[in-house]
Chains A and B, each alone.
Chain A
Amino acid sequence: MTTNQLDLLQGTLDVLVLRALSWGPMHGYAVARFIHHGSDGTFTVLDGALYTSLHRMEERGWLESEWGLSEKGKRAKFYRLSTQGRRALRTETTGWNDYVAAVGRVMTATPQVT
């Protein structure tokens, strides 16, 4: 398994999307670009999965959507974090950091002989 084919777990993708939207309202394409640039090509996310994540989180009440105009004056659907979404981002971020720290500890540990 190579790193650029890393399969992202659904929960992880959600955190990334929430994080993207924490900077302000964005349309789906902008979220896709944000994640793409942020990962710097380390992993790719299928855009379809991204939209599924957006819609699912809207159903869950984490996101709110609204039709608006893009920078280029085209009709686009903008997403924004709801209060619930903000709260979810906080807990998910903590969870993710704990996870990363734990994985890191395991990766750097040496066997201890007792």
Chain B
Amino acid sequence: MNYPDRTPRWRRYLRLLRPNVQADVDDELRFHFESRIEELLASGETPLDARQIAAAEFGDVREVKRGLVSIDHRLAAKRSRIETMRDVFGDVRYAMRSLARTKGVALAILATLGLGVGANAAMFTLLEAIYLRPPAGVVAPSGIRRVWRTVNFRNGMQYWPGNSYVQFGVIVGALGDRGTAAIYGPPVKMKLGAGESATQVQVSRANSSYFSFLGVPAELGRIYTSDEGRLDGPDPVAVLSHDYWMRAFDGKRSALGSTIVLAAKKYTVVGVAPTSFSGVDLNAADVWIPLGSQRQRRAGATPWWQDSNINGLSILVRPLPGVSERGLEQRITTALRRPEAAYGAIDSSTVARFGSIVSANGPGESSQEQRIAVRLAGVAIIVLLIACANVVNLLLSRAVRRRREIAVRLALGISRARLIRLLLVESGVLAIAAAGVAVFVAYAGGIVLRKLLLPDVHWAQSPLDGNVVLLALVVATVAGLIAGLIPALQAATPELTDALKAGAGSGVVHRSRIRTGMVVAQAALSVVLLVGALLFVRSLTNVRNVDIGFDARRLMTASVSFDDRSASRDSTLPSRIAQLADQVRAIPGVQTAGLASMAPMSGFSTITYFTETDSSALGAKWFPTVTAVSPDFFTAAGLHFLRGSNFPPHGTATPPQVIVNQTMAKGQWPGREAMGQCMRFAKRDAECYRVVGVVQDSRMSSILEDPMPQYYVPVDNVPVDGGGLNGYYVIVRADPQRVGEITAATRSLIRQEFPGGIPQVTWLSDYIEPQYRPWELGATLFTAFGVLALIVAVIGIYSTVSYGVNQRVHEFGVRIALGAQIGDVLRLVVGEGMRTLTIGIACGVVLALLAGRFVASLLYGVTPSDPVAIVSVVVALVAVGVVAALIPAWRAARVDPVSALRAD
């Protein structure tokens, strides 16, 4: 038997490239057979016998060969794995060593990339939580639709997720057997416990089918039944969230059956929801109670489930598979327009629409904070771009400094591919370290962002999850590798002889187009961010300058509330509060105190009135708010009279008087003088309250609303009884420097005068300050990012100019030797730096104008193309750029021509 297949000779050469297992085995065995046959022939066997003997001694050639090949394949694979590992390990070690040699650059890259990626990770976690992440613990959340319907608000038509129970009934009817529905109230803060030790919890009212609709079982105990959850006077039962159960009951089973007090009502805990479930809103719920809980029912009044004014309930629908959503929306729209849907408030134009269960993703208006968050995500991306540009720059300058090292390596025969791999491993090591920094920044930044942007949200999830860590890792690595690739490719193709020859500079100037490009990009992007920052700062100033009427910093409101409702109906209460006002006035630091039926900016109150002029033209939206006040009120609130005078002091007998605000004066009696006009209340022929004064406008609820009509009646001569026109609130003008002591003194006074009462002392500035928050937030965050971008850009300009100067020391030496003055050199260097910067700034202004429309809706009193903002940014950037270029230019101007020319 001949040794079977002879492989062609050329295949042996393949072995130079990679081991050819099959061929090697063939060769080895062929050698064996040839040797054996030769020996047998030498001992006198015939060729035929020799072959047969050799084959017999060997055994099954085919079988053995198959075994050998498979062993060798395993061996080759193992070897190549070990080799790769050893290579990578070596590269990593080399990279670490070379990075340690340039610690400053390495740290700068780490910080830049870490901050850039971390800021993005934090931003996108927040956005994901707001816009994308479906509520945890819910079965098939993508199949659930939230019902929105159009509502005509004062500022126009909007989609609104709130509904009344009547509308729920209508929607369930329209659904029929095409799907299921649930109704619940989004979490609201409720007082837990009683007295002053009371805390707050997030309570969601939900119908009993809410849990089964979402597919959420009780982890412990049970969900309340539909009988317990009946609309009219449901049983006081509660289901706790797992999180709240752990916090308040340490996760003890004894929580079941225990009692909690919510808004002065006792509830029995019947169950605990599973770990992951915290409701279906961004705001996590701590406690669920039946839908009809906490609703008063007065005899004769409309029960709440038929009251179209109780309309803050959210409705979820789960259409059956195959049911057309458009069709369902249409059916619900039609049903909602029918008169029986409205109970007196027919809205024949309403449109129902389905949205995602994630409410921020629905068709409604998003809050200013959410809109800022979206813009900030854009800003974060810009910062990342600037960071990447900076990293490219830093790596490039490193690579340039290592030209000679690289050239030597190339000359010694390292392959370009291997060199690129080496440089990539270096940036890879950096990138992974940066990813670590980024994850940390993302975590810390996530906490800060949540606090700043959405402080009122009760978060269920931690600000960092696995996806974010993964995202940060991937982004940092990709960004690092891309940033590393550019210099790696550039470095791997140097003119060998050139680089080897070059000393400090042989007259050849290497201007890097990439570096210049990076500086242009950085400058442009920082212009965009800085213009944005300035627009927000100017908006903030404008908002701050809006006159709200009240002197908010000095305005304190004091009143008393009772857990026991009968105490608050005590008829002596108004006079006792009037006495309280006198006592408060005596507190040091208090300037004056008046009485009002309503705290400033706390609500609306209307009563029907008639005037001599026809007011039907004013339309249905003309609802002037009435407040009963004592004469001291206006001084206390800081409201100035425009015409006329205040009410006379208490006890003076005068005909009934009324004071109106400016908007009321203009709107109620257009073209006529309001002073001296008559207002008659409740009935057309009632007593005439004569307008004796016109007072300035003040805000009713928000700092940026249009002024609304208001009028004031004397608290000791109110036109109608029982309209809540009692002086329940003491309005105090006090020294803002002594907030703490005045608050404390007032509280103890109230406790002393009203045993069993709970002091309510608030400062108006505490109420309105949160309204400035979005503006401050925009200004702060955009400024922070803008300054960060500016710093990075300045470093970029400095390092580029500085690098250029180093390259041209020789040239400057020649120029100075030939008689160039310091000024000439300065102008030359700075001029070149500024040329780059100017291109960047020009691009930046164009970009800023283009990007302006994305923030226009978030600005107040300033347009995105605001020339002041743009010009100041350009001037600032030019100034900073000149300084950044001057430092290296100065170095260039002081080059000693002799030593510069001698070097080499």
Using a CB–CB distance below 8 Å, which chain A residues touch chain B? 27-29, 32, 44, 46-49, 51-52, 55-56, 58-59, 70, 72, 74-77
B59–A76 contact, CB under 8 A? no
A49–B27 contact, CB under 8 A? no
Q: Nearest Cβ in chain B — how far from A86, in angstroms?
A: 20
Q: Nearest Cβ in chain B — how far from A67, in angstroms?
A: 8
A28, A44, A52, A55: residue with the most chain B Cβ atoms closer than 10 Å: A55
Q: Could you say which of B70-78, B279-287, B799-807 contacts chain A?
A: B70-78
Mask of B62-86 contacts with A, CB within 8 angstroms, 1/0: 0110011001101100100000000
- Bound complex: CA A44 to CA B34 (Å): 20
On chain A, the residues within 8 Å of B29 by CB distance are: 51
- Bound complex: CA A17 to CA B824 (Å): 85
**Which 7 A-B residue pairs are closest in the complex by CB-CB distance?**
A48-B64, A48-B59, A46-B59, A47-B58, A55-B71, A29-B35, A77-B28
Q: A76-B28, A77-B24 known; 8 other A-B pairs, CB under 8 Å? A: A28-B32, A29-B31, A32-B32, A47-B32, A48-B61, A55-B71, A55-B75, A70-B35
B27, B32, B61: residue with the most chain A Cβ atoms closer than 10 Å: B32
Nearest to A47 among chain B residues (CB) is: B58
* B36 close to A (CB within 8 Å): yes
Q: Nearest Cβ in chain A — how far from B711, in angstroms?
A: 98
Q: Nearest Cβ in chain A — how far from B82, in angstroms?
A: 11
Nearest to B69 among chain A residues (CB) is: A55
Q: Nearest Cβ in chain A — how far from B27, in angstroms?
A: 7
26 A–B contacts from the bound complex (CB under 8 Å): A27-B31, A28-B28, A29-B31, A29-B32, A29-B36, A32-B32, A46-B59, A47-B32, A47-B58, A48-B58, A48-B63, A49-B59, A51-B32, A51-B68, A52-B64, A55-B68, A55-B71, A55-B75, A56-B71, A59-B71, A59-B72, A59-B75, A72-B35, A74-B34, A75-B27, A75-B31
Nearest to B68 among chain A residues (CB) is: A55
Main secondary structure of the interface of A (DSSP, over half): helix
* B60 close to A (CB within 8 Å): yes
Choice from B34, B60, B75 contacting A48 with Cβ under 8 Å:
B60
Choice from B35, B58, B67, B74 contacting A46 with Cβ under 8 Å:
B58
On chain B, the residues within 8 Å of A75 by CB distance are: 27, 31
- Bound complex: CA A52 to CA B57 (Å): 14
Using a CB–CB distance below 8 Å, which chain B residues touch chain A? 24, 27-29, 31-32, 34-36, 57-61, 63-64, 67-68, 71-72, 74-75, 78
On chain B, the residues within 8 Å of A32 by CB distance are: 32
On chain B, the residues within 8 Å of A58 by CB distance are: 71, 75
Q: Nearest Cβ in chain A — how far from B57, in angstroms?
A: 5
A70–B31 contact, CB under 8 A? yes
On chain B, the residues within 8 Å of A46 by CB distance are: 57-59
On chain B, the residues within 8 Å of A56 by CB distance are: 71
Q: Nearest Cβ in chain A — how far from B281, in angstroms?
A: 62
On chain A, the residues within 8 Å of B58 by CB distance are: 46-48
On chain A, the residues within 8 Å of B67 by CB distance are: 52, 55
On chain B, the residues within 8 Å of A77 by CB distance are: 24, 27-28, 31
A59–B31 contact, CB under 8 A? no
A46, A47, A70: residue with the most chain B Cβ atoms closer than 10 Å: A47
On chain B, the residues within 8 Å of A44 by CB distance are: 57
On chain A, the residues within 8 Å of B64 by CB distance are: 48-49, 51-52
Q: Nearest Cβ in chain A — how far from B81, in angstroms?
A: 14
B28, B58, B63: residue with the most chain A Cβ atoms closer than 10 Å: B28
- Bound complex: CA A70 to CA B60 (Å): 25
- Bound complex: CA A13 to CA B35 (Å): 22
If the complex has contacts A44-B57, A47-B58, are A52 and B74 also in contact, measured as CB distance less than 8 A?
A: no
B74–A59 contact, CB under 8 A? yes
On chain A, the residues within 8 Å of B71 by CB distance are: 52, 55-56, 58-59
Q: Nearest Cβ in chain B — how far from A58, in angstroms?
A: 6
On chain A, the residues within 8 Å of B75 by CB distance are: 55, 58-59
Choice from B59, B63, B74 contacting A47 with Cβ under 8 Å:
B59
Q: Nearest Cβ in chain A — how far from B10, in angstroms?
A: 15
- Bound complex: CA A82 to CA B24 (Å): 21
Q: Nearest Cβ in chain B — how far from A39, in angstroms?
A: 13
On chain B, the residues within 8 Å of A59 by CB distance are: 71-72, 74-75, 78
Nearest to B64 among chain A residues (CB) is: A48
Q: Nearest Cβ in chain A — how far from B279, in angstroms?
A: 60
On chain B, the residues within 8 Å of A70 by CB distance are: 31, 35
A55–B72 contact, CB under 8 A? yes
